[in-house]
Amino acid sequence: MSEQYRNYIDGEWTESETGETFESRNPADRNDLVGVFQQSGETDAERAVEAAAAATETWADTPAPERGAVLRKVAGKLDARKDELTETLVREEGKARPEAAGEVQRAIDIFAYYGAKASDLGGDVKSSSSRDTTLYTVDEPIGVAGLITPWNYPIAIPAWKIAPALATGTTVVFKPASLTPNIARKLVECLDEAGLADGALNLVTGPGSTVGKTLSTHDAVDAVSFTGSAAVGETVGDQAKETNKRVQLEMGGKNPVVVMDSADVDDAVDIAAGGAFGVTGQACTATSRAIVHEDCYDEFVAGVVEAAESITIGPGLDGADMGPQASQSELESTLEYVDVGIDEGATLETGGEEVDAGDGFFVEPTVFSGVEQDMRIAQEEIFGPVLSVIPVSSYGEAVSVANGVPYGLSASIVTQDLSEAHSFVEDSESGVVKINEKTTGLELHVPFGGMKDSSSETYREQGDAGLDFYTISKTVYLNY
């Protein structure tokens, strides 16, 4: 029988008061039981919040360089367990092994980065208009942060929320996605072993309807950071705002790659296919639409179909290029959108079928051509390996189509025209703009976030901006 794992509250591993549990299983092999986890309830979440609130003074009073040293120890412990964590991630979420290894390395790098940044925290000195006066600011931790994270990047996204929070002296209650609790547990193990103060970080597994809601509504929680779907994010945001919490929401995307007539088509195919089919299309920044100039449209479609059909599908532990969808519901949603695209009159060029590659949730990479802007497959987030190819006749039309969705997370243009490249930076309604690169992939030391329905447009994540959400500024006038 698989081991039953516990919550982490106030420095102790503890069972939930509900007495209930849930299972985590390998999406590539449903017979493979990853572990049994606590199906926590409101009382468990409240205990975690209370522990975090009680620890705020101790953790905030810990010198920032000392907090940074703890984070650097975390990076070292993650690095020492990299192979184990990579296999855990493949087994629990389904990524191909190279993708999982890259994500684990990202978590290592994030903790090392914020471990170093902690020593630079403080504030700014300004010139006063008065004599004999020193004018400066002090950045103080906001208090308690509730962090709600998704299953698709189940160690990288928690890392880029937890590390800056702890660096600033803010304490944390962390609710991971129920599809991927084991990699979250192992991350917290590393934090615990690094010498983190009791209560500074608390892990509670369980449903969003109870655990997540408690974090969004509890009076002792000062800030809520959420990454996930737009529908759930809107609910989390509404709940948090009722008690005047600081809110950070990063949500869905319908990300375009624009391919202009000057583009190298082979490069454009590689960029689009990598963004659309990497991580099984299960990324908020995944390429969902290819908006292609009519002069190279047919060549592009042929190329991206060939790229899709060359991908090997199967368990990541077996060395496949593309793993399964993360759950039965995710697979069913993707297959439903394939039916929608066919019904809307788009041409299914390749893919769209469930794949028999073991007892898992496998689907073929899918390409639709002849897609029109108002079709659902061109407007709604699919979160699977489905690419809709839309023909356009000019740069202006391409920009209009690219911006003509409710989302605005990541966008790319493939062009050899410098004027188009610079114009796209200004014209694109997205938080991340790329030139001749795929829409996925992020540097950790620069801000990340979206526009429109992709984001609350409040605070950015990662880089220096990632620290801002967890601090509040105090201005000091010192007349001597």
Residues known to be catalytic: 250
Contact 116, 463 (CB under 8 A): no
Report the run of H or E that residue 337 belongs to, with start and end. Answer: helix 328-344
Contact 223, 470 (CB under 8 A): yes
CA gap 456, 236 in Å, rounded: 11
First to last CA, the chain: 69
Q: Is residue 412 a contact partner of residue 287, using CB atoms and an 8 Å limit?
A: yes
Closest CA to 53 of 145, 140, 118, 139: 145
* H or E element, residue 343: helix 328-344
Element (H, E) at 302: helix 297-309
Length in residues, the chain: 480
Q: Which two tokens stand for residue 467?
A: 């620290």
Q: CA nearest 307: which of 364, 347, 258, 263? A: 364
In single-letter form, the type of residue at position 388 comes to: S
- Say which amino acid occupies 89: L
Q: What is the DSSP string of 275-287?
A: HHHGGGG-STT-E
**275: which 2 tokens?**
């963004």
Question: Helices 395-403 and 418-427: crossing angle, nearest 10°?
Answer: 30
Kindly list the strands in the beta sheet with 347-350, ordered across the sheet, starting from the edge strand earlier in the chain. Answer: 347-350, 366-369, 386-392, 287-293, 255-259, 410-414, 432-435
Within 8 A by CB and 6+ apart from 419, the residues are none
Report in angstroms the alpha-carbon separations of 384 from 79, 243, 258, 431: 30, 35, 20, 22
d(C-alpha 137, C-alpha 122), whole Å: 8
- The C-alpha atoms of residue 365 and residue 48 are separated, in whole angstroms, by 42
